[in-house]
Amino acid sequence: MTEETRLAIVTDGSLSASNPFVPVDFVVPFRVSHWDFRGQWIERHESQEAIGRERFLRIQSAARKLPSTSQPSPGEFEEAYLSLIGRGFNQILVLTVPATKSGTYNSALLGMEKLKESLPETDITVFDTGTTAAGVEFMAEIAVKFRDSGQSLSTILDELSRMRGNIEMLIALDTLQFIRASGRIKDLHETKIRDKIREKARNFVSWAVSRVGKSPKLTLLFREGEETILWSTVSREFGGAVEGVYQRIHERALDGTDFRKIYIVQSNAEKEAQQLERRLSRGIPIGEITQRSDVPLALLAITGPKVLAAVCIEDRP
């Protein structure tokens, strides 16, 4: 008698375990590193679920050294797989952020390989989504929908592979303080200097930008694992960066791009998100626009507490 297939959908910390919109079977959270003062500066590591959004933002606003996030270990993925097997799943699909931007994909693979030493028949597939945050949420939504309608793992993977090239994320930044400190701006990230000197340079830039009332506002384009600066304006107004998001979507629509869905994700930018949704709804044919406020800590760590992102799903073969 053939065993019934039970497929588990797993994501990394791009989703919160409490996300009410996409009921995945397991979230392997990112780790948050921060520094507490207990007579001396001691680095502490906690999962994003344990630390919580509000506490993370308090630490971020007050810390002498900014908190950061890191990928789960292979052991944490192995524990997740064992837990799912114990719950009766016999197939596991893991959706991760891009391998080019995080070690999460490799951790998931290493956890799989470690588990297969004792359970060689385990059926685990690790999929690089090429996106992050609400982009991974959309991929998970597709995977759950296809699974629940009885589609096979191979059919799900075909659809995810097709959609991977159709996702574009636009991020409006209110400040460069956090993204510079994280090393994601390439002029710091790619400088050929010793790590200690580079770390001091990043910390200095973070301090300097935090002391200046005016900060450049940026709109970043993130597609298939690579980011590009689309829009830059020196202003006290966050709306300058949000305008860059609108202009990119408007220009793509004028060029003939059809949008199946747009997720607008925000933290401390509810007014700007509502205004953007109204503008998009009036002048651009979009299948569906959805607003979410569940921004993962991994994104807040490099954007700061105020951010707006639009994840655009193109409707094309």
Give the whole-angstrom CA distance, residue 230 versus residue 212: 23
Give the whole-angstrom CA distance, residue 219 versus residue 170: 7
Q: Fold match between 7-29+71-164 and 167-314?
A: no
pLDDT band for position 229 (50/70/90)? Answer: low
End-to-end CA distance of the chain: 38
Burial per residue of 28-46, b for 16 or more beta-carbon CB atoms within 10 angstroms, e otherwise: bbbbbebbeeeeeeeeeeb
Cα 267-268-269 angle, rounded to 5 deg? 90
Contacts of 136 (CB under 8 A, 6+ apart): 11, 12, 14, 15, 95, 96, 97, 129
Contact 81/112 with Cβ under 8 angstroms? yes
What's the topology of domain 7-29+71-164? Rossmann fold (3.40.50)
Contacts of 216 (CB under 8 A, 6+ apart): 176, 232, 233, 234
Name the residue type at position 66. L
What does the mean pLDDT of the chain come to?
81
Contacts of 180 (CB under 8 A, 6+ apart): 188, 202, 205, 206, 209
User: In terms of pLDDT, which residue wins out, 251 or 230?
Assistant: 251
User: In terms of pLDDT, which residue wins out, 1 or 161?
Assistant: 161
Q: What is the mean pLDDT of residues 153-165?
A: 93
Give the whole-angstrom CA distance, residue 214 versus residue 79: 46
- Burial class of residue 169 (count of CB atoms within 10 Å of its CB; 0-12, 13-18, 19+): buried
- The pLDDT value recorded for residue 194 is 44
CATH class, range 167-314: alpha beta
Half-sphere CA count of 76, side-chain side, radius 13 A: 21
Long-range contacts of 281-284 (CB under 8 A, 24+ apart): 283/250, 284/249, 284/250, 284/253, 284/259
Half-sphere CA count of 289, side-chain side, radius 13 A: 18
pLDDT tens for 10-59 read 999 888 767 777 889 999 988 887 775 543 445 566 777 778 888 888 87
pLDDT tens for 85-125 read 999 999 999 999 988 888 999 999 999 999 999 999 999 99
User: In terms of pLDDT, which residue wins out, 234 or 12?
Assistant: 12
- The pLDDT value recorded for residue 131 is 86
Is it the case that residue 267 has pLDDT exceeding 70? yes
Is it the case that residue 268 has pLDDT exceeding 70? yes
Which DSSP state fits 256?
T
- The pLDDT value recorded for residue 212 is 43
In the chain, where are the structural domains located? Answer: 7-29+71-164, 31-70, 167-314
Specify the pTM. Answer: 0.81
